[in-house]
Chains A and B, each alone.
Chain A
Amino acid sequence: MRFRLAFVLLLALATLGAGPARAVDPRPTVESIGEHVMCLCGCVAILNHCPHLNCSMQAEMRATIQKALDEGKDEPAILQLLSQQYGVKVLAAPPTQGFNLAAWILPGLGLALGLGLVVVIVRRWRGLRQAPASAETSPDVDPKLLAAVEEEIKTSGLGMRE
C-alpha cells in the first residue's frame, strides 16, 4: 500500500514537475519574450540567440513584439499574436493544447512509469528471495522433503547458528 501511495504521489509530482506551467513575466520586455520564441530566419535559434549579424527577420520580429508591448499586451497575448502571425513553430516550446500536450506529459509519465517499474522489480526480487522460505509459496518443493530437511537441521544443530 505504501508503495502504491508513493507511486501515485511521485506520478503526480513528476507530471506536475514536467508540466507546462510557467510563471508569466508580469513586466515583459522584448528580451524576456525573445527567450520564448524562435528566430525564423533559418538559423534554428531562439530569437535572442540568432547568430546572424544584422538579421532582418530578428529585427522584424523584435519590432512586432515591441509594438505589441507598446499597445499594452501581456506575454500570453504577445505569444498568441506571434503564433497567429508566423505559425505555431515560432513558439520555442509546444503549446499546451491538443496533441502537443503529449510533449509535456510524456516525460513526466515516463519518469513515473520508470519509477513504478523499478519499484516492481525491487519488490519482485525481494519477494523471490523470500519465496523459498515458505512451503506454501514454493509448490516445487516436496513438503515431506522440506519437513525432513528441517528435522535434519534441528537434530544436527545447524539451525542454532542463526
Chain B
Amino acid sequence: MNEVGTIGLIAALAFAAYGVIAGALGGKLRSPRMVKSAERAAAAFFVSITLAIVALETQILTDNFHNAYVAAHSNRDLPLYYKIAVLWAGQEGSLLFWTWLLSIYGGLAVLLNRRKNRQLMPYVVAILMGTGVFFSSITFFVANPFGELSMVSAAGLQAFQPADGNGLNPLLQYHSMVIHPPMLYLGYVGFAVPFAFAMAALITRQLGDNWIRTTRRWTMVPWMFLGTGILLGGRWAYSVLGWGGYWGWDPVENASLLPWLAGTAFLHSVMIQEKRGMLKVWNIVLVITTFFLCIFGTFLTRSGIVSSVHAFAQSNIGPFFAVFLGIVLFFAVSLLFLRLEFLKSENKLDSMVSRESGFLFNNWILLAAVFAVLWGTIFPIISKAIEGQTVTVGAPFFNRVAVPIGLLLLLLTGAGPLLAWRKTSFQSLKRNFTLPLAVAVVVGAALFAGGIRHFYAWMSLFLCAFVAVCILQEFYKGARTRQKTGGENFLQAIYNLTMRNTRRYGGYVVHLGIVLLFVGFAGQAFQAKTKGLMQEGDELRLKDYVLRCSNIVSGDTPNYSYQKIQLEVSKDGRALGTLDPDRRFYKASQQPTSHVAIRSSLTEDLYTVLAGQDPDSGKAIVEVFVNPLVAWVWIGGFVTFLGTLLAMVPSRVERQMAEMRQAQEVAVRASNAL
C-alpha cells in the first residue's frame, strides 16, 4: 500500500504542476482546450490525492505497522473512530489530509464554475494548483507518510514490523478531537478559494463586483468551519486538559483565531464594495491577509518555532513554509500594486454616521485584534532574536490586551447593522437606539445591584443586553411591518422576513450567536474552585455544592487502565446525581491523562477533575470548579453556525432573480435556434 500511496502523491504533484502551467497558459492564450485540460488536471489531482489518502487510511485501519506513520500514531486496540482520526494526528498524515481537502475545494470550484466566471477560472485553477504543488511537494519530499520501518540485520537492511504501534496521543483520544481538526483544516484550506479568485481577478483585471459576489459563499463556508473548529478545540481543551477553562491563548489557538478574525473583517467589508463600490483595494488586502494567516497558522503549528500544548513535533518543514509564505506575499502584493489603477472607489463617503463608516470601524477593530494577537504570539520569537531572552506571552497578556478590543467589537455588532447606508439621521439614531440603550441600562443597574463588580464582565453583559435588543428589535420591526401589510401572523412574518433576505437576517442570527458567546465569556470572571484530598466518605464543598466520595474504582480496557472516583453531588441538600471523573493510563503510549466529569446547566457547570493521588496519604486529589454560564459558549457557537448556514441559503429575491436570468437565457437560446 505504501507504493500505491507514493504513486498517488507523485501523480498528484505532476497533475498540480501541469494544472498551474495549463491554467496560466490557457488564460493567457485564451485557449478553451487548454483551460479545460487544466480543469481536468484539478480533477486528476483530487483523484490522485484520494488514492494516497485511501492507501494511508487502509494501513491505519489494518494495523500495518510496517508503515512508520501508522506505527508512530496508532495501535491495535485503538477504537475504530480514533483510528480514522490517526490520519490527521501526526505531521505527515495531517499534511496529506490538508492537501486532500485542497483538492476537494479545487474540484468543487471547477465543478461549480463550469458555466460561469470563465475568464477567471484558468487563473483560479492555476493558483489553487500552485498551492497544491507546494503541499504535495512537502508531503512527498519532506513529511512523507509512506515511509517504511526497516532494521539492520546480518542479512542487510530488512523490512521491520513491530507487534504493535506507539498509539495515539492520549490527549487526542476524545470524541471532539475526531471532528475538530477536520473542521479547522476545512477552514484553513477553504480560504485558498477566495484568495485564488482575488488573484485571478487581479490578473485578468476583472475587478468589478463579480469576484466578490462569487467568493462570498466560498468565504462563508471556510469561515463557518474555522469558527466551529475553534469552538470544538475549546470544547476539547475544556473536557480534556482539566484546568477548568476552554481558551488558554496558546500560540496554536491564536493561530486559528487570526484568519478567522481577518475573514470576519472581509465578510463585512465586501458588503461595502457590493453596495457602494468602495474599499476595493482593502478587500483584496483582506483576502491576502486571511490566506497568509492560514498558511502562517499552519507554519506556526508545525515548524516548532513557538512552544504550544497543541503543536506537532518539531520538524524541518519550517523553512519551506517560510519560503512559501514569502512567495505568496510577494506575488499577491506585487499584483495588487500593478492593478491599483483598476481598484478606484466608485463612491465617496457621505457621512461619518453611516453603515459604511460602521463597517470601517468594524474592520479597524478586527484588524487591531489581529495585530494584537499576532504580536503577542510572535513576541517571544522577536524577543529571543533581539534580546536573546526567552519570554512568555500567555493568557494574562492576552486577557488584558484583547478583552477591551473584544468589547468594542461587541458594541459594533449591535450598533453597526442599525446604521443606514450613506447617512443616518439623528432621528433614526434615536429611534433605533433608545430601547436597546434603556434595556442595557436596566440590565447594567440590576447586575450592579446584584453585586457584580468585575468591570469587564459587567461591561460584557451590559453590551450583550444592548446588542441583543438591537438585533431582536430588527426582527420585531420587520415582522410587524409584514403583519400590517400582508396580514401574516407574527411567526409567519418572522419566517418570511428571514427567508426573503437570508443574508441580512442570517447575519443577525450570527450576531446573536456572538452575543451568547460573550455571555459565556463573561461567566469566566466568576469561576470558583477548590481542591481536596478524598477517600470513601469524604466530602468537598464549593459554593452551594457538596461532593461526597462514594467509591473509588479501578478498571481495565484493551486501550487503557483507569481509576475512577464516584462523587455524589448535592446542592442545598438536594441530590443532583453522580459525577465520576477518571484518570487513565494508556497502554500503548505509556502516558497518563485525566478525563473530567461535568454537570452542565444553563447557569453553571460543576466541573470535576481527578488530578492525581497524594503520595503521602494515598488519597485521591480532586479539583472542583464552578464555571458560570459556560454552556452559553457552546450554545452561542451553535447559533453562530446556524446563522452562517442561514446566510448562505439563497434568499427568495436571489432565487427569483436567478430564475429570471435562467428564463432569459432559455428565451435567448430559443430565439437563436429559430
Contact = CB atoms under 8 A, between A and B. Distances in A.
A98 B309 CA distance: 29
Contacts of B363: 118
Contact of B379 (A48, A98, A103, A108): A103
A103 B397 contact: yes
A107 B248 contact: no
A-side binding surface: helix, strand, loop or mixed? helix
Of listed A49, A87, A99, A102, residue having the most chain B CB within 10 A: A49
A49 B241 contact: yes
A103 B382 CA distance: 10
A100 B375 contact: no
Interface string B393-408: 1111100110011000
Interface in A9-65: 17-18, 20, 22, 31, 35-36, 38, 43-46, 48-51, 53-54
A139 to B, nearest CB: 19
Contacts of A88: 389-391
A128 interface: yes
Contacts of A95: 391
A44 B250 contact: yes
Contacts of B583: 53
A46 B394 contact: yes
B392 interface: yes
What 5 A-B pairs are tightest by C-beta distance, nearest first?
A49-B243, A107-B372, A129-B348, A92-B394, A93-B397
A22 B399 CA distance: 11
Contacts of A126: 348-350, 352
B171 A118 contact: no
Q: In the complex, which of the residues B375, B391, B613 has the most CB atoms of chain A within 10 Å of its own CB atom?
A: B391
A102 B593 CA distance: 38
Contacts of A48: 243
7 contacts: A50-B243, A51-B243, A91-B391, A115-B364, A118-B360, A118-B363, A125-B278
Nearest to B408: A111
A46 B398 CA distance: 13
Interface string B590-601: 001110000000
Contacts of A44: 250, 307-309
B300 to A, nearest CB: 13
Interface in B489-510: none
A154 B164 CA distance: 93
Contacts of B529: 31
A67 interface: no
Main secondary structure of the interface of B (DSSP, over half): mixed
A107 B368 CA distance: 7
Given A51-B241, A114-B367, A129-B348, A43 B309 contact: yes
B106 interface: no
A146 to B, nearest CB: 20
A99 B372 contact: no
Contacts of A92: 392, 394-397
Given A99-B383, A99-B386, A102-B379, 9 more contacts: A35-B396, A44-B308, A51-B243, A53-B583, A87-B390, A90-B392, A94-B379, A103-B375, A103-B397
B348 A93 contact: no
A51 B396 contact: no
A51 B390 contact: no
Contacts of B391: 88-89, 91, 94-95, 100, 103
B368 A110 contact: yes
A121 interface: yes
A148 interface: no
A141 interface: no
A61 B367 CA distance: 38
Nearest to B279: A121
A5 to B, nearest CB: 15
A122 interface: yes
A156 to B, nearest CB: 26
A49 B245 contact: yes
Nearest to A107: B372
A22 B396 contact: yes
Interface string A116-139: 011001100110110000000000
A8 interface: no
B371 interface: yes
B242 interface: yes
Contact of A111 (B240, B392, B397, B405): B405
Contact of B392 (A43, A51, A91, A98): A91
A145 B383 CA distance: 62
Nearest to B250: A44
B611 interface: yes
B612 interface: yes
B232 to A, nearest CB: 18
A131 to B, nearest CB: 9
A42 B404 CA distance: 31
A102 B393 CA distance: 12
Nearest to A20: B400
A106 interface: yes
A14 B171 CA distance: 39
Contacts of B348: 125-126, 128-129
B486 interface: no
A94 B394 CA distance: 9
A100 B612 CA distance: 37
A18 B400 contact: yes
Contacts of A100: 383, 387, 391
Contacts of B405: 107, 111
B256 interface: no
A53 B372 CA distance: 33
Nearest to A49: B243
B577 interface: no
B394 A93 contact: yes
B364 A114 contact: yes
A89 B376 CA distance: 14
B555 interface: no
B615 interface: yes
A22 B404 CA distance: 14
B650 to A, nearest CB: 33
A22 B400 contact: yes
B405 to A, nearest CB: 7
Contact of A106 (B345, B375, B396, B404): B375
Contacts of A22: 396, 400
A108 B386 CA distance: 21
A135 B308 CA distance: 61
